[in-house]
Amino acid sequence: MAGIAVYPGTFDPFTNGHCDILDRALKIFPTLIIAVAANPEKSPLFTLQERTGLIREVVRGKAGVTVDTFDSLLVDYVQKKGARVLIRGIRAVSDFEFEFQMALMNRRLAGEVETVFLMPHESYSYLSSRLVKEIASLGGNISGLVPPPVEKLLIEKFSRRRTP
C-alpha cells in the first residue's frame, strides 16, 4: 500500500466528478490530502474558506482524508506534507495534454514526486466546475452534478445575483 497522496485543485466548486476521483484514490492511498489552491488569478466564485468548508462537509467521515490549502509551488507543498504522489483526474484527451505537461514540469522540479492520473466514471466525463457554475448561473438544474451542500450554496449565490 502506498503512503500519502495529494489531490490538488481549485475546486470551484467541488463536483461529483471530484468526489469520484477522491473515492478512486482512496482505494490506492490510505492518506489523501485535498489541497485547495488559493489561485486568485482564476477569480473563483467561492472564497477559499467557502471551498474548504464545503469540501470538509462533503468528505466528513471519510477515513484518511484531510482538507488543506496552499498558495505555493505545488511540488514544494507536496514535499512539505511528506507526500510523494499527486493525484490528477483526466476526463478527456484535452485534459491529458495539459496534465501531461504539468506532470513533466513537476517531475523536473521534484523528481521524487510522481503524478498518478485517474479517470472518473464515464458518467462524469463531461463534468467540469466551469460548466456547473454556468448552468447554476442560468437557473438550470445542477442536482446530481455536485454534492448537496455545494448545490445549496451555488443556488444561494446565484439567486442573490439575480435578485434586484
Known catalytic residues are: 18, 42, 91, 129
Residue type, 26: L
Q: How far apart are CA 34 and CA 117, in angstroms?
A: 15
Q: Distance (Å, rounded) from C-alpha 65 to C-alpha 34?
A: 7
Q: Give the residue from 50, 48, 93, 99 showing the smallest Cα distance to 71.
A: 48
Could you give the CA distance from residue 52 to residue 59 in angstroms, rounded to a whole number? Answer: 10
